[in-house]
Amino acid sequence: MQRNEERNLSSKYLDKNLLFLTYKLLLTILYRTFGSNVLFLTSYNILQMRNIAVFASGSGSNAENIIRYFKNHPNVRVDSVWSNKKEAYVLQRAKNLGIESRYFTREEFCNPVQMVAELQRRNIELIVLAGFLWLMPPEFIDAFTIINIHPALLPTYGGKGMYGSFVHESVVRNKEKESGITIHLVNKAYDEGAQLLQVKCPVFPDDTPDTLAARIHELEYNYFPKAIEDYLNGNVPG
């Protein structure tokens, strides 16, 4: 077991050394071809890379959408995907897209000293909750900025137990005229953090929870990655 860990550690250092040598060669070529200005800009962009960790509990369609959005971004990248469910399909999506993924237990999450340390070691600047259902412990909130997306127009239809189909069922049952998404910062209570963006959509008389959910998902795919990018770029409402 210890030898396997040592081999894994050695492999990681080799990967880092190879990356550094490749980066050094690239800078040399750019400098000789274009001069010092492009060298400075290239170095600045690489050093300013912003790392995101995505937390998800389910299928991970939003997580995949976010990963694809930032795939070729000049200074934002999805570093890793984390899930509290060992069989969650989001872990397979991450693997398919070449993103490192982690499963964690309730115990590790509720006593998160090691998780927080690992995220900090990875230079995570932002945690994105993409269908993650557990309340974040204070240790995470104190250490990181965290963004969540909620499938309703907060403050209505928010709070503990209000997620996914439960939200859409309540909206349809109450004959609401509109619903939508709320993208917000995370604090120590469910769905009460500062709002970054709300986008509305109609609720039709013949809607079912499933048809409404499909409309909400489209809003999530269209607006969530851009809202993350805007936040990292300092474009914060208010």
Q: Could you give the residue numbers annotated as active site? A: 150
Q: Are 180 and 201 in contact (CB under 8 A)?
A: yes
Angle between helices 89-96 and 61-69 (to 10 degrees): 20
d(CA 75, CA 65): 17
**Which DSSP helix (H) or strand (E) runs through 185?**
strand 178-185
CB atoms within 10 A of CB 104: 17
Residues near 208 by beta carbon (within 8 Å), at least 6 away in sequence:
172
Residues near 47 by beta carbon (within 8 Å), at least 6 away in sequence:
none
Angle at 123 between CA 71 and CA 28, to 5 degrees: 65
Q: Which residue, chain included where needed, has tokens 């006593």?
A: 111
Q: Are 145 and 185 in contact (CB under 8 A)?
A: yes
CA 212, 156, 109, 142 torsion: positive or negative?
A: positive
Looking at 35-60, list the stretches that DSSP marks H as alpha helix, in order from N- to C-terminal side: 36-47
